[in-house]
Amino acid sequence: MEKNKLKKIIIEIFRKHKLSTNHSEICADAIINAELVGAPTHGLSRLKMYCERIRHKLINPKPKIKIKNISQSVAHINADDSIGFVAADIAIKKAIKNAKKSGIGLVAVKNSGHYGMSGYYAEQAVKKNMIALVFTNAPPAIAPHGAIKSLFGTNPICFGSPTGSNAPFILDTSVSMINRGKIRVASRTNSKIPEGVALDKFGKPTTNAIKALEGVQLPIAGFRGSGLAWMVDILSGVYTGGNHGGKVKDPFDDFSGPQNIGHLFIVMKANLFQSNFKKRIKENIKRIKKLPKLKGLKEILYPGENKLRRYKKNLKSEIKIPENIKEDIRILISSKNF
């Protein structure tokens, strides 16, 4: 579907679900961005879920979002069970504003929900010549090191920086060895999953996808990745006032209450310490790209570079929508006003 047509449709769907036009547009932009960068798991595939949570009164379509200014640099946002996109949009803008004033902006958010991709918000800061660290927690997906039950979310670590070129440096990495989606696909096609990415329900390493689905996914790098996932849970959950310690609800199948996800945004002016930051990072990237490479590899890419290429390529053509999601959209758009 053509991008602008799709945007109008998404806006209409959210408007039907009582979101303001402004909030609907924020959501539509984030969802379409996820499709364009090649992350459909964070795009249209969640549209039905968001609407269902609104209908179940677990996402508040008319949130009274409260911003508490704590200092020139720091603010705390109570998102009032807003859809995550809207809370995160307000938060990153506030963090950028505070960083402009004082060099650094720190904004914590509680009572929020799934906000799509962390990198999308980091990019907004990078466009204003700022460095960003973005943390969010998520429903249980991986087992802490030593445990045989999931508790941490995929808890991404996200870092963005200007590069002096069009493609920002955007690291947006989950601390899980494998996506649950990939295990599901392997279970359907009867293929094995890699070693060391999952345990069966007895805590034994397995390459059998079905057994892995009954068991748990593992964090990257054993205790190191487990520690990083724990750090993200503390920063985005414990610290902000959000849910934490395995209490963030799965948005797709747990309708027992709002998610209360927490986010933390740290934004810093890129030229705060070195006025020639852009020149310095250009030099940094150049040195790394010039290194001798693995056989067959043409180019060393920095995080975010490939994503921009996909975005630019996808921008030229229509957005492909799988049949089941087209059906979701048809139902959502033709349903009565909520």
Q: Which of residues 113-172 bind its own copies (CB under 8 A)?
A: 131, 133, 143-149, 151, 157, 159, 161, 169, 171
# residues contacting its own copies (CB under 8 A): 76
Please report how close the Cβ of residue 37 comes to its own copies at its closest, in angstroms. 16
Q: Does 310 bind its own copies (CB under 8 A)?
A: no
CA distances from 110 to 39, 237, 240, 245 (A): 25, 8, 6, 15
Tokens of 269: 């002016």
Please report how close the Cβ of residue 305 comes to its own copies at its closest, in angstroms. 11
Q: Which of 32, 193, 220, 329 binds its own copies (CB under 8 A)?
A: 220
Residue with smaller CB distance to its own copies, 4 or 273: 273
User: What is the C-alpha to C-alpha distance for residues 129 and 230, in angstroms, rounded to an integer?
Assistant: 30
Do 118 and 156 contact (CB within 8 A), yes or no? yes
Candidates 173, 169, 171; CA nearest to 126 is 169
Q: Does 335 bind its own copies (CB under 8 A)?
A: no
Q: Which of residues 16-55 bind its own copies (CB under 8 A)?
A: none
Residue with smaller CB distance to its own copies, 131 or 193: 131
Region of 53-61, 85-93, 287-295, 329-337 interacting with its own copies (CB under 8 A): 287-295
User: What is the C-alpha to C-alpha distance for residues 270 and 260, in angstroms, rounded to an integer?
Assistant: 31
Strands 74-78, 104-112: pairing kind: parallel
Q: Which of 97, 200, 203, 210 binds its own copies (CB under 8 A)?
A: 203
Residue 11: burial class (beta carbons within 10 Å; 0-12, 13-18, 19+)? buried
Do 128 and 108 contact (CB within 8 A), yes or no? no
Q: Does 63 bind its own copies (CB under 8 A)?
A: no
Q: Does 234 bind its own copies (CB under 8 A)?
A: yes
Write down the residue that tokens 């992350």 correspond to: 39
Q: Does 69 bind its own copies (CB under 8 A)?
A: no
Over the window 249 to 268, marking each residue x when it contacts its own copies by CB under 8 A and - when it does not, the resulting string is -----------------x-x
Do 7 and 32 contact (CB within 8 A), yes or no? yes
Q: Does 303 bind its own copies (CB under 8 A)?
A: yes
Q: Which of 59, 261, 302, 328 binds its own copies (CB under 8 A)?
A: 302
Q: Which of 1, 103, 187, 207 binds its own copies (CB under 8 A)?
A: 103
Tokens of 241: 């006032």
Do 72 and 28 contact (CB within 8 A), yes or no? no
